[in-house]
Structure 1
Amino acid sequence: MKDPIAFVHEMSWDDLSEAARKQVELNILDLIGVGAGGMTTRLSGIVRTHAHVEFGGNIPMLFDGRTASASGMALAAGMTIDALDGHDGFNPAKGHIGAPLFPAVLAVGHEAKTSGRAFLEAIAMGYEFGARVSVAQHATVPDYHTSGSWGAVTAAAASARLLGLDRDLTRHAVGIAEYHGPRSQMMRCIDHPTMLKDGAGWGAMSGVSAVKLACSGFTGAPAITVEQATEHWDDLGDRWYVLEQYYKPYPVCRWAQAPMEAAMTLQATHSFEASDIEAIEIETFHESVRLAMPHPTNTEEAQYSTSFPVAVALVRGDLTPQDISDEATEDAEIQSLSSKVTMREHDVANAAFPVQRLARVCIQTRDGKKYQSDWQEPKWDHTAPPTEAELRAKFHALADPVLGPVAAKEIEDTLANLAVLPLSSLSDQLLRPIKASTTIGSAA
């Protein structure tokens, strides 16, 4: 077995291929863009105020400027990113490595005044550690927990690296994080969507808190998923999972995106309008069928629905954050079309999940015609990834309206050169408040 604790501290930026280093940069950029988009949600506003009031400290929060502790800042940033379901993910984990990892590393790295290279190395290590600990947890516990659960262990490992903890303290940090991380029930939030989401913020907070506790002498080793689930760590340092993440063109649950693509393909091929549709039947895997929210009343319900995003895609030809905002859920045309969707579980899709998220769609129009799609996968899986230009365009589509195009471009340019800069050159931009001037193109 490879030694995961040794890997936490020994992996180097130089160990990665050029492609892997570029993907780390793009993953961070994508997370920043999703975080900017998440700032517009009620969820983010509530949790940022909570972190400022209840987690006293001197670290500015993401795009806010008010301060909190490192743990509080990680909580607020993680939940802000998680507030808009558009961040990268890892199919075997049924979840997201970056959303709990990035906020923890940003908070701890900013507090420790680390270098940009050290920050990038911690993120790169975290993707490799997080991929394996996620699969280990899913293989060793009966319930399907949110990304924040194993994300807490990942956040602790990356934070321990940044702070230079020795082997013993690192073992205790990841052990504390595994024990106290949010073992939150993912399918409960699928069945009853609320602001709880995928636990990313709580995972980031738990990971940072675990490291702080370990540094104070609090014990917690071993982490079972790290030290006892040995079969999941054998390819550590040989296979680079940062190159096997998926990306989201649309800010809704990944499970809804294959039906969206299939429906839009049918519409483009057969040239019917949304108003021509009589009925929509979607065949897919069990978990996607449970995204049973045809009439959402807020963005959390819209993001954890299959039928509503499919209706948006058929009416608008796309889906943006504005299309699943609280106000947008009141759109009568989309609500009406969403009510015409029937969801069915299919053995083919169940057998492929979670490595593949398959769906096929049959649309019947008012003139009695039926159009049947092939089995469809979501767009931008790692087997057919987005181009660098597409990910950069996604970042600007999310960030420019919130931060302003000048500020967004400065973040993008700084990140591209971060390996030879101090982290503060980036974090100072991310941790200042959004001002009115930024929305009209000034980086002030």
Structure 2
Amino acid sequence: MTTSPSYVTERMAQWAAGLRFEDLAPAAVHEAKRYLLDSLGCALGGFRQRDVQVALQVLAEVAAAGPATVIGSGARLDVVSAALANALMVRVLDYNDIYWKQDPSHPSDIIPAAIACGERAGGDGRELIVGIVLGHEFEQRLCEAAFPGIRERGWHHATLTAFVSPIVAGRLLHLSALQIQHAIGIAGSHHATLGAVTAGKLTMMKNTVDPMATQAGVFAALLAEKGYTGPQHVIDGKEGLVHCLGPEWRLEVLTEGLGESFRITQCGMKAFPTEALTHAPISAVLAIVTEQHLQPEQIVEVHVRSLHRAADILADPSKYDPWSKETADHSLPYCIAAAIVDRNVTPLSFSDAKIRDPRLRAQLPKVKVVADEEIEKLFPALQRVIVKITTQDGRSFEKQLDYPKGDPRNPLTDAEVEAKFDALAADVIAPDTARAVKDAVWHLDELSSITEVMQLLRAAR
């Protein structure tokens, strides 16, 4: 008698289906609240971005009424559409969380799947916490599994998100383990994302591929709920993810020690609304120019030694002449120029007017980015950067950083997370509403309905 082979999706789905709030460590629960507050702030800050407004216009034509709340507008849409809209808001400023091992990812891109499906199922705050922890767990584990990472092979990390979002959606919809396994197969088999979206001159799709992967997972879970099937071998079987993307994968990472500790406690938050590898250089530049009281006109060169992938992604020729927000927030020369001129890098650094600012653009040619082989050897344990600024009078100042603010080794405090939320929400909701949102999130495990939080997020201005 032969038995069917056990695929890794089976073990992932079984653990997800059985995970309960009571299984979570207190530290994981607290981190889930922090990442939810951070994500809601990013979503409110992103609500009026042009790409979000375009997407909302299209959804107004094609989406159906439903149980899931859209942030900002307050509309109640079907769960697939609401998950897409909210995930785009979370992602659009490039300000939500970051985890980077073999691959980078933004696990909070998946939180809108948990919210939408949780609202549909009538879930409470504890259920949402389970969904957040679950999404971070498998997204972060997938970022550790490929050697080299799929980003180095030309694929975008949204490819990985499409394997995780159906797990989160399925768990919040209370699907069986087998149904969740089928949902993984449905979404994962059709949603590979090309790295072109973050290469060269960037477009709105840079912000959208992750939300679309989240949307795909929600749709897959709905199909699986009705009996639709997907390939159970989609990761480790014939012509699955491992077979097609090769060469080396350590799939034991995906399930080894599940529940013994929680990956969400190892994720990072962003102190700047920019690509993750810009953060340490920005911090180093800010430290030098503020400590030495340097004015832009005094600086003749900013020499940055960093990773090969930083030089490749963030300093190719298109990044020295950015004319869109998407290219600018992935341009190390631009981000450094903003830090030099404005002594900070915020969402306002990427307005059309700021991108055209002659004083800022004059700094771009001063930035030289060099890949350093010794620094490469330290990654991903360290994201070391060495910045040297040279002035007109021949002085030079050097700063080395091994990881940026927001890294779990130098995390944002709860007060800093609140301050970030307040700054992002200020132009969208009233101060008393912002206080109510923060209170609801910090007491999320006491809320009887996810919708209680979502109803607070309607734009007031």
Shared fold, TM over 0.5: yes
Match of residue 61 from structure 1: 70
- Asked if residue 72 in structure 1 is aligned to residue 81 in structure 2, the reply is yes
- Asked if residue 197 in structure 1 is aligned to residue 206 in structure 2, the reply is yes
Match of residue 332 from structure 1: 358
Q: How big is the shift at 1:188? A: 4.5
Q: How big is the shift at 1:377? A: 2.4
Q: Quick one: structure 1 residues 366 and 354, their matched pair in 2 at CA, closer, same or farther if it must change by over 3 Å?
A: same
- Asked if residue 216 in structure 1 is aligned to residue 216 in structure 2, the reply is no
- Which digits, 9 at most, give the CA deviation of each residue in 1:334-386, with x for residues without a partner? 11012211111111232233443222111111112222222442222112212
User: Residue 148 of structure 1 is aligned with which of 149, 152, 158?
Assistant: 158
Partners of 1:143 and 1:55 in 2: CA distance: 35
Match of residue 310 from structure 2: 288
SS at match of 2:426: helix
SS at match of 2:302: strand
User: Residue 460 of structure 2 is aligned with which of 435, 438, 441?
Assistant: 435
Contact in 2 for aligned 1:51/1:68 (Cα 8 Å): no
Partners of 2:106 and 2:345 in 1: CA distance: 24
Q: Quick one: structure 1 residues 174 and 309, their matched pair in 2 at CA, closer, same or farther if it must change by over 3 Å?
A: same
Q: Quick one: structure 1 residues 408 and 223, their matched pair in 2 at CA, closer, same or farther if it must change by over 3 Å?
A: farther
Q: How does 1:115-264 map onto structure 2 within 5 Å?
A: 115-136=124-145, 143-181=153-191, 183-186=192-195, 188-197=197-206, 199-225=209-235, 230-232=251-253, 233-264=255-286
- Which digits, 9 at most, give the CA deviation of each residue in 1:285-330, with x for residues without a partner? 1221131312321211111110111111111111111111222101
Contact in 1 for aligned 2:87/2:112 (Cα 8 Å): yes
> Match for 1:19: what amino acid?
A
Q: Quick one: structure 1 residues 389 and 60, their matched pair in 2 at CA, closer, same or farther if it must change by over 3 Å?
A: closer
> Match for 1:32: what amino acid?
L
- Asked if residue 394 in structure 1 is aligned to residue 394 in structure 2, the reply is no
Match of residue 278 from structure 1: 300
Partners of 1:31 and 1:93 in 2: CA distance: 24
Q: How does 1:310-325 map onto structure 2 within 5 Å?
A: 310-325=336-351
Partners of 1:419 and 1:360 in 2: CA distance: 43
Contact in 1 for aligned 2:131/2:171 (Cα 8 Å): yes
> Match for 2:408: what amino acid?
H
- Asked if residue 81 in structure 1 is aligned to residue 118 in structure 2, the reply is no
Contact in 1 for aligned 2:31/2:264 (Cα 8 Å): yes
Contact in 2 for aligned 1:27/1:98 (Cα 8 Å): no
Partners of 1:140 and 1:176 in 2: CA distance: 23
Q: How big is the shift at 1:223? A: 5.0
SS at match of 2:144: helix
Partners of 1:390 and 1:151 in 2: CA distance: 28
Q: How big is the shift at 1:218? A: 1.9
Q: How big is the shift at 1:63? A: 1.3
TM-score, normalisation: structure 2:
0.88
Of 239-248 and 210-219, the range deviating more from structure 2: 210-219
- Asked if residue 424 in structure 1 is aligned to residue 451 in structure 2, the reply is yes
Q: Quick one: structure 1 residues 250 and 223, their matched pair in 2 at CA, closer, same or farther if it must change by over 3 Å?
A: farther
Match of residue 442 from structure 1: none
Q: How big is the shift at 1:264? A: 1.5
Contact in 2 for aligned 1:44/1:79 (Cα 8 Å): yes
Contact in 2 for aligned 1:110/1:423 (Cα 8 Å): yes
Q: How big is the shift at 1:46? A: 1.1
Partners of 1:72 and 1:223 in 2: CA distance: 28
Q: Quick one: structure 1 residues 33 and 257, their matched pair in 2 at CA, closer, same or farther if it must change by over 3 Å?
A: same
Partners of 1:281 and 1:414 in 2: CA distance: 45
- Which digits, 9 at most, give the CA deviation of each residue in 1:169-196, with x for residues without a partner? 1110011111122x22235423221111
Contact in 2 for aligned 1:114/1:423 (Cα 8 Å): yes
Contact in 1 for aligned 2:404/2:410 (Cα 8 Å): no
> Match for 2:119: what amino acid?
H
Report % sequence identity.
24
Contact in 1 for aligned 2:31/2:265 (Cα 8 Å): yes
Partners of 1:190 and 1:55 in 2: CA distance: 31
Q: Quick one: structure 1 residues 138 and 130, their matched pair in 2 at CA, closer, same or farther if it must change by over 3 Å?
A: farther
Q: How big is the shift at 1:204? A: 1.0
Structure 1 portions without partners, runs of 5+ = 437-444
Structure 2 portions without partners, runs of 5+ = 1-7, 243-249
Q: How big is the shift at 1:140? A: 7.9
- Asked if residue 52 in structure 1 is aligned to residue 74 in structure 2, the reply is no
SS at match of 1:374: strand
Partners of 1:38 and 1:351 in 2: CA distance: 36
- Asked if residue 23 in structure 1 is aligned to residue 39 in structure 2, the reply is no
Q: Quick one: structure 1 residues 331 and 94, their matched pair in 2 at CA, closer, same or farther if it must change by over 3 Å?
A: farther
Match of residue 382 from structure 1: 408
Q: Quick one: structure 1 residues 55 and 226, their matched pair in 2 at CA, closer, same or farther if it must change by over 3 Å?
A: farther
Q: Quick one: structure 1 residues 209 and 326, their matched pair in 2 at CA, closer, same or farther if it must change by over 3 Å?
A: same
Q: Quick one: structure 1 residues 268 and 129, their matched pair in 2 at CA, closer, same or farther if it must change by over 3 Å?
A: same
Partners of 1:196 and 1:350 in 2: CA distance: 29
TM-score, normalisation: structure 1:
0.91
User: Residue 40 of structure 1 is aligned with which of 34, 44, 48?
Assistant: 48
Of 23-32 and 166-175, the range deviating more from structure 2: 166-175
Q: How big is the shift at 1:266? A: 1.8
For the aligned residue pairs, the C-alpha RMSD in angstroms reads 2.2
Partners of 1:223 and 1:354 in 2: CA distance: 29
Partners of 2:75 and 2:193 in 1: CA distance: 28
Q: How big is the shift at 1:37? A: 1.1
Contact in 1 for aligned 2:306/2:370 (Cα 8 Å): yes
Of 24-33 and 270-279, the range deviating more from structure 2: 270-279
- Which digits, 9 at most, give the CA deviation of each residue in 1:28-47, with x for residues without a partner? 00001111111131111111
SS at match of 1:192: coil
Partners of 1:140 and 1:310 in 2: CA distance: 27
Q: How big is the shift at 1:131? A: 1.5
SS at match of 1:372: strand
Of 242-251 and 98-107, the range deviating more from structure 2: 98-107
> Match for 1:28: what amino acid?
L
